[in-house]
């Protein structure tokens, strides 16, 4: 499986109404996607489940919905203005753009060893490690007017004509009000977390929480990503589910461990194959500017390309020890005291933070990838999305076997009856075989058929998507049967 699977997923997503290319009739917009009728339900199921498990089911976590636009000083304090950037360089020959650190990683070990000797005064033994690559990137950026051509860097193995490298900030800029000058400049938030930090005291006071407690939020975030692609894996507009957990300073290590376990298990609870999930601690060279330790929950995406992964693993979520970095910086930049009298401690404290930061879109992509199966049935390929009943956009489809003899009316009646409790869907289009196949592709776990026998003995057949087994049950047992299967 490879990019072939990606093409199949993208095409199924469009065909069934999970995900469409944004602005498609105008040729689209790079790496921007819209969620269709089934996609929006799948996404909603992910978000509702997260909210239920992270907020509703926990006494010490409360919610927040902060604005996307914030005072630009927030982004100075958070460190994003100064540090949230990628080092970029262009090849004038091919007009292609590269991240300098990725470009360095693609050079021959001999050249890298030569560069390390010249620029760092040491040559690594064997292939260069990530620390050496980071040090090299920094050494090159530190030189004024550095000429990458004289260093002999190749583009995809070919000679190139390099521009000067430059730091490119990933925040999307916008202007508020009628003038487009420095004074009106602000940013679309690159993470939802800062809305939580700046509201920390408001929430603590209003919700009367004591340490440890968390503030959770789901919302859009924006980044002017350079290396986009892999469908909805890396986009410029995406949705995050973030929870900042405030603890006594010195207790972050234990909470980092706790949340890493909780979060890994959460993905398993959505029905994702445990063998396709792993936890990977960050090396010191990959930590974000605000964190001292971070564990990523990763999914094994078969189609992942270089740059997004290590050997096909892609990040779904980061669980990070942010320490007191954010609250301290906001206290400094705003001039407001952000420490508070914790009733449990009886002393003023500036809490430290352990963050759980997950991507809605990446969770959706992992669910779709994990659920996608092809199998041969009677000489034909059956495409089936094995989504768990709790995640599937439609729980139960109801079909009249034929469009006469009162069957459509009975089927509508059943849909009406089910709709309050389950995501039920009526489908009368085409042969029953075609309708089954459509629902298999939509990931609908159960299909109920109203047939000639229904009017005689008040029974229906229920088909299981995965086994394709059918059983006959009485109409008044349908809800109980479904509830049992939903678990
Ligand atoms: N507040 C911490 C933070 O934002 P991050 O690792 O940069 O950390 C957290 O992002 C999560 O947000 C990622 O694990 C991923 O699921 C999602 N995410 C980040 N950038 C994304 C992008 N360009 N497209 C889609 N999802 C993205």
Distance of CA 184 from the midpoint of ligand 1 (Å): 27
The answer, yes or no, to whether residue 181 has pLDDT greater than 90, is no
Protein residue with its CA nearest to atom 4 in ligand 1: 191
Q: Which residues contact 458 (CB under 8 A, 6 or more apart)?
A: 474, 475, 476
CA distance 91 to 156: 11
When pLDDT is cut at 50, 70 and 90, the band that residue 2 belongs to is: low
Tokens of 174: 């916008």
Average of per-residue pLDDT across 394-411: 97
Mean local confidence (pLDDT), 253-277? 98
pLDDT above 70 as % of the chain: 98
Whether 9 has a pLDDT exceeding 70, the answer reads yes
Nearest to 453 by CA among 385, 487, 407: 407
Ligand 1 neighbour 86 (Cβ under 6 A)? no
Query: In the structure, what pLDDT confidence band is assigned to residue 1 with cuts at 50, 70 and 90?
Result: very low
Residue 365 CB less than 6 A away from ligand 1: no
User: What angle (nearest 5°) sits at the alpha carbon of residue 234, between those of residues 231 and 236?
Assistant: 110
Ligand 1 pocket, 41 CB below 6 A?
A: no
Task: Answer yes or no: are the C-beta atoms of 15 and 441 closer than 8 Å.
Answer: yes
237 in ligand 1 pocket by Cβ < 6 Å?
A: no
Pocket test for ligand 1, best of 30, 318, 323, 353 (most atoms within 8 A of CB): 318
Residue 105: asked if its preceding bond is cis (omega within 30°), the reply is: no
Whole-number average pLDDT of the chain: 93
pLDDT-above-90 percentage for the chain: 81
| Spatial separation of the C-alpha atoms in residues 78 and 70, rounded to whole Å | 12
Average pLDDT over residues 211-215: 97
Closest-CA residue, ligand 1 atom 20, reads 234
The candidate with the shortest Cα–Cα distance to 440, out of 486, 371, 378, is 371
Q: Residue count of the chain, please give it.
A: 487
Distance 317 CA to ligand 1 centre (A): 7
The model's pLDDT over 414-460, given as tens digits with 9 standing for 90+, comes to 999 999 999 999 999 999 999 999 999 999 999 999 999 999 999 99
pLDDT attached to residue 308: 43
Determine which residue's CA is closest to atom 7 belonging to ligand 1: 191
With a 6 Å cutoff on the Cβ, whether 219 touches ligand 1 is no
* Burial class (CB within 10 angstroms; exposed 0-12, middle 13-18, buried 19+) of 103: buried
Average pLDDT for residues 246-273, to the nearest whole number?
Answer: 97
Rounded Cα distance, 67 and 64, in Å: 10
Query: Does residue 298's CB lie within 6 angstroms of at least one atom of ligand 1?
Result: no
> Is 322 a pocket residue for ligand 1 (Cβ < 6 Å)?
no
User: Between 126 and 64, where is the model more confident?
Assistant: 64
At residue 46, the 3 state secondary structure works out as helix
Pocket test for ligand 1, best of 357, 358, 365 (most atoms within 8 A of CB): 357
Whether the per-residue pLDDT at 307 is higher than 50: the answer is no
Q: Whose CA is nearest to atom 21 of ligand 1?
A: 234
């Amino acid at each position: 499986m490879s990019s072939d699977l990606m093409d199949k997923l993208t095409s199924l997503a469009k065909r069934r109404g999970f995900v469409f290319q944004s602005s498609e009739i105008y040729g689209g917009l790079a790496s921007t996607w819209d969620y269709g009728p089934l996609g929006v339900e799948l996404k909603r199921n992910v978000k509702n489940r997260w909210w239920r498990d992270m907020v509703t089911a926990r006494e010490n976590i409360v919610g927040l919905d902060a604005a996307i636009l914030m005072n630009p000083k927030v982004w100075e304090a958070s460190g994003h203005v100064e540090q949230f950037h990628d080092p970029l360089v262009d090849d004038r020959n091919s007009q292609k753009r590269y991240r300098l650190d990725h470009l360095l990683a693609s050079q021959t070990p001999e050249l890298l060893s030569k560069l390390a000797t010249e620029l760092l005064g040491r040559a690594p033994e064997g292939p260069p490690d990530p620390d050496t690559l980071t040090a090299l990137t920094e050494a090159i950026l530190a030189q004024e007017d550095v000429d990458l051509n004289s260093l002999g860097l190749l583009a995809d193995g070919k000679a190139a004509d390099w521009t000067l490298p430059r730091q490119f900030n990933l925040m999307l800029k916008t202007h508020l009000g009628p003038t487009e000058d420095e004074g009106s400049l602000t940013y679309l938030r690159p993470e939802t977390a800062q809305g939580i930090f700046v509201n920390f005291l408001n929430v603590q006071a209003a919700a009367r929480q004591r340490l440890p407690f968390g503030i959770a939020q789901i919302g859009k975030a924006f980044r002017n990503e350079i290396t986009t692609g892999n469908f909805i894996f890396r986009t410029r507009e995406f949705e995050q589910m973030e929870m900042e957990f405030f603890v006594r300073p010195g207790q972050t290590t234990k909470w980092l461990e706790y949340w890493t376990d909780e979060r890994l298990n959460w993905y398993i609870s959505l029905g994702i194959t445990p063998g396709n999930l792993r936890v990977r601690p960050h090396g010191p060279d990959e930590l974000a500017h605000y964190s001292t330790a971070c564990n990523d929950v990763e999914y094994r995406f078969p189609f992942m390309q270089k740059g997004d992964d290590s050997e096909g693993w892609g990040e779904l979520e980061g669980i990070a020890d942010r320490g007191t970095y954010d609250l301290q910086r906001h206290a400094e930049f705003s001039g407001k005291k952000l420490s508070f009298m914790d009733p449990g401690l009886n002393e003023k404290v500036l809490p430290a933070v352990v963050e759980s930061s997950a991507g809605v879109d990446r969770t959706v992509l992992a669910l779709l990838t994990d659920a996608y199966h092809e199998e041969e049935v009677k000489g034909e390929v059956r495409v089936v999305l094995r989504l768990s009943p709790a995640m599937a956009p439609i729980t139960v489809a109801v079909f009249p076997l034929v469009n006469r003899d009162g069957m459509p009316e009975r089927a509508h009646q059943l849909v009406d009856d089910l709709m309050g409790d389950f995501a039920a869907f009526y489908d009368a289009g085409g042969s029953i075989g075609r309708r089954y196949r459509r629902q298999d592709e939509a990931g609908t776990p159960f299909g109920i058929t109203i047939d000639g026998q229904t009017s005689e003995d008040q029974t229906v057949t229920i088909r299981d998507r995965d086994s394709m087994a059918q059983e006959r049950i009485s109409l008044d047992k349908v809800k109980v049967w479904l509830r049992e299967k939903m678990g």
